[in-house]
Structure 1
Amino acid sequence: MRAAFVAEVRTWLDTPYQHQGRLKGVGVDCIGLVVGALHACGLFVDVDPTGYDKRPDGTLRARMLDYLTPVALDEAQPGDILLFHFAAVPMHIGVLTGPDMITHAYSRNRRVVEHRLDERWRALVASSFSVPGVE
């Protein structure tokens, strides 16, 4: 299932960024990408918050802990979810799509992108999680 989930995530590449978007090819945000790819793989994990501001309130980690299994970053595998902090607040997620690759809907790029999980990005990782059904 890991390979299928990663393959599905990659089909969302270049989808435009849209706050609270949930549609491949139309518009998606970071959570929408993860939820949409999980649903496309037949996995319905209830991690989909709604009605959130563009600057989340810091509750994302707690919600993820309710539904996902924490894993150490050095043990994370493709298909695991990474939670990033900006300004000390965990507020952005992406999918590890290779040993040092991440795919995420990134507002600065205005689309879903895949790039290296370099030292800069690695330093922003607040937590990493496996998804029930993907492991």
Structure 2
Amino acid sequence: MKTVTRCEFVAEARAWIGTPYRHQGRLKGIGVDCIGLVIGVAREVGLFDLDVGAYDKRPDGTLQMRVEQYTTPKGLDEAQPGDLLLFHWDGMPTHVGILSEPLHLIHAFAVNRKVVEHRLDERWLAQIVGAYQIPGVV
């Protein structure tokens, strides 16, 4: 299995900052959604070439199952840069992002209409469902 460092993974994620938000998008600089960002970054660094598609804009309750299918859950206190954080809104896991450094997240956020990086404030921290390690990010 190919491996990349956490720094390499985060650096590639940062290269996507500013990419417009687009539901089911997968292209750097063109358009991407939250899971598309994770898939795109993993592809760019050569970790895997899988995808999940045909999902509705409205949450259908499958995001957590899909994330857990391809990653390893870990304690939030063990999360490191390059790990994924899963968030819930209104009680359902609906959003995923890449931890870039302690308390900072890179994600494709529909509200901002693009990929952004920002500090996780109390509101964001209260929405975290779990942390996950992508196989090959070491």
Quickly name the TM-score band, shorter chain normalised.
over 0.9
Amino acid at match of 1:23: L
Tell me the amino acid that sits aligned with residue 81 of structure 1.
L
Q: Is 1:132 matched up with 2:135?
A: yes
**Is 1:79 matched up with 2:82?**
yes
Q: Of 20, 26, 32, which aligns to 2:36?
A: 32
Q: Runs of 5+ in structure 2 lacking a partner? A: none
Name the SS of the counterpart of 2:29 in structure 1: coil
**Amino acid of the residue matched to residue 102 of structure 1?**
L
Match of residue 41, structure 1, among 32, 37, 45 = 45
Normalising by the residue count of structure 2, what TM-score does the alignment of the two structures yield?
0.94
Report the AA paired with residue 95 of structure 1.
Answer: I
Q: What is the match of residue 98 of structure 2?
A: 95
Identify the match of residue 13 of structure 2 among 4, 9, 25: 9
The equivalent residue for 1:107 is 110
Provide the rounded CA distance (Å) in 2 between the counterparts of 1:117 and 1:45: 29
* Structural RMSD (CA): 1.0
Q: What letter corresponds to residue 88 of structure 2 in structure 1?
A: H
User: How many angstroms does 1:45 deviate by?
Assistant: 6.2
- What's the % identity of the aligned pairs? 58
The runs of 4+ residues in structure 1 deviating greater than 4 Å are: none
Residue 56 of structure 1, CA deviation: 2.2
**CA–CA separation in structure 2 for the residues paired with 1:82 and 1:45:** 21
How far apart, in 2, do the equivalents of 1:132 and 1:117 lie?
24
1:114-135 deviation per Cα after TM superposition (whole angstroms, max 9, x unaligned): 0001111011101110010003
- What SS does the aligned partner of 2:116 have? strand
Assess, with a 3 A threshold, how the Cα gap between structure 1 residues 66 and 88 changes in structure 2: closer, same or farther.
same
Which residue, 63, 68, 74 being the options, matches 1:65? 68
SS at match of 2:53: coil
Distance 1:30 1:6 in 2: 15
TM-score (norm 1): 0.96
> Which of 19, 25, 48 is matched with 2:23 structurally?
19
Q: Which runs of 5+ in 1 are unaligned?
A: none
State the secondary structure of the residue aligned to 2:16.
coil
